[in-house]
């Protein structure tokens, strides 16, 4: 299943089949909706749909459910600092990915065994005043040997600046909604 580490990711809150179908197959899909309790049947439907359409599918912040449903992996957000993330038998190709905003959080993600680390926010976003920009992003990335995924404020105007970072790839919600098939020309 995981012959490679995806370079691109998007987050979804709802099961929108049309949107998921439009996305390039090399964009990993992370289901993240913290305002509701996860519906196991819905996640199984999403998993089956993604599998049928050759999409990698990850669940945010529920390792047990992601493993039990045999998803491609789990996304461990920065606020989850539990270090015992290896419980249950892990399938061979189960990918743990996670996010961090500081060196302390990077160390926690390393202890959790993530293989890809999302560092954010790279660029300024309307709703947030704090962001890293390229220099601070690279300084933070130098504190780990993990592959880095840039996250936060990525749009058509600033996407070329990702090449100035140590990012292996990037994650975005808005960018991929506007450009669901643009990945081959980037990075």
* 3-state SS, one letter per residue, for the chain: CCCCCCCEEEEECCCCHHHHHHCCCCEEEEECCCCCCCCHHHHHHHHHHHHHCCCCEEEECCHHHHHHCCCCEEEECCCCCCCCCCCCCCCCCCEEEEEECCHHHHHHHHHHCCCEEEECCCCCECCECCCCHHHHHHHHHCCCCCEEEEECCCCCCCHHHHHHCCCCEEECCHHHHHCCCCCCCCC
Residue 167 confidence (pLDDT): 94
Going by pLDDT thresholds of 50, 70 and 90, the confidence category of residue 1 is: very low
Residue 35 confidence (pLDDT): 84
Q: Look at residue 176 and tell me whether its pLDDT is greater than 80.
A: yes
What is the percent of the chain with per-residue pLDDT over 90, rounded to a whole number? 67
pTM for the structure as a whole: 0.91
Residue 170 confidence (pLDDT): 94
Q: Look at residue 7 and tell me whether its pLDDT is greater than 70.
A: yes
34-53 pLDDT, tens digit each: 888 899 999 999 999 999 99
Going by pLDDT thresholds of 50, 70 and 90, the confidence category of residue 146 is: very high
Name all domains of the chain by residue range, CATH numbers in brackets: 8-178 (3.20.20.70)
110-130 pLDDT, tens digit each: 999 999 999 989 998 777 678
């Amino acid at each position: 299943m995981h012959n490679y580490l995806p370079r691109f990711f998007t987050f979804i809150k709802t099961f929108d089949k049309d949107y998921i179908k439009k996305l390039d197959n090399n964009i990993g899909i992370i289901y993240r909706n913290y305002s509701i309790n996860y519906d196991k049947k819905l996640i199984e439907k999403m998993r089956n749909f993604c599998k049928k359409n050759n999409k990698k599918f990850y669940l945010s912040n529920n390792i047990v459910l992601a493993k039990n449903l045999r998803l491609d992996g789990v996304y461990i957000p920065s606020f989850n600092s539990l270090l015992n993330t290896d419980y249950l038998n892990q399938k061979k190709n189960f990918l743990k990915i996670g996010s961090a905003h500081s060196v302390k959080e990077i160390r926690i993600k390393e202890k959790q065994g993530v293989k890809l680390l999302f560092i954010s926010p790279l660029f300024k976003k309307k709703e947030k005043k704090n962001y890293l920009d390229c220099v601070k992003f690279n300084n933070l990335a130098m504190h780990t040997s993990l592959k880095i995924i840039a996250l936060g404020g990525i749009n058509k105007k600033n996407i070329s600046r990702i090449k100035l970072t140590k990012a292996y790839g990037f994650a975005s919600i808005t960018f991929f909604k506007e450009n669901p098939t643009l990945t081959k020309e980037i990075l």
